[in-house]
Amino acid sequence: MTTRPGETSAVPYDLDASGAPLTESYEPPGVSGARIAGAVLLTIVYFLLIGYLPYYLEKYAARYGLSAAVSPTFLLVAGAVVAILAGLSIATKPTKAWGPVRVMAAGVDIIYIFYLLQNPIYSTTIHGFSITLAYTRILELFLIPPVIALIAGVVTTFGDIRHPGERVRMQFPQKAPRWHRRADGQAI
């Protein structure tokens, strides 16, 4: 029988007000409205940074004679897909679907970056001088987070299969009641 730190009560910390163990009445959290709102907000910000901003910069660069390395339409569509999957991974975190969604999101991120790595060079000619800009190294560094996320998603998926509910209980623990009451109704 455990009590809260600093309490000398005989009411155990791991029991609810009715005396039932908290672990038996635990229900994992679902996808809440706040989590969905956060996922939508993240999706919008992600789309602006990964989809619209590269699309706009590509269009802007084409106006000044820089040859486009990739299609601006591809940047817009791929950015939207990456942003939607990132939002889904946030929304599904308290569920068993989080691992597979995270694997899918990281896989799409990796494919997107590898596509950009096919031709990571901008070039133009100004007054007879050729100017070239290569961004290979930065894209290679951008591969590190999705690879880590892919590994984490695979480990989480197999962990959820092997030990159902354990990750959700650890990441989203049930809070013990703030006040325990004795049989006579007084707070302890």
Tokens of 186: 């007084």
pLDDT band at 151 (very low <50, low <70, confident <90, very high): very high
Does residue 129 sit within a domain?
yes
Is residue 124 a part of any domain in this protein?
A: yes
The answer to whether position 184 is within a domain reads: no
Residue 47 belongs to a domain: yes
Give how many domains the chain has, as a whole number.
1
Query: How much is the pLDDT for 12?
Result: 47
Q: Could you report the per-residue pLDDT of 171-183, keeping only the tens digit for each? A: 776 655 545 555 5
> How many of the other CB atoms lie within 10 Å of CB of 89?
23
- Cβ neighbours for 172, distance < 8 A, ≥ 6 positions apart: 28, 29, 94
Q: Flag whether 23 is in a domain.
A: no
Distance CA 93, CA 156 (A): 11
- 65 within domain boundaries: yes
- Note the pLDDT tens digit of each residue in 63-121: 877 766 788 888 899 999 999 999 999 888 888 888 999 999 999 999 999 988 887 77
In a domain, 12, yes or no: no
**What percentage of the chain carries pLDDT values higher than 90?**
32
Task: Classify residue 5: in a domain, yes or no.
Answer: no
* pLDDT at residue 86, rounded to an integer: 92
Give kind and range of the element (H or E) at residue 151.
helix 144-162
**Of residues 111 and 166, more confidently modeled:** 111
Instruction: Name the residue range of residue 109's domain.
Output: 33-165
The DSSP symbol for 131 reads E
With a CB cutoff of 8 Å and minimum separation 6, the contacts of 3 are 9, 10, 11, 12, 13
* pLDDT mean over 37-45: 93
Kindly report the pTM of this predicted structure: 0.70
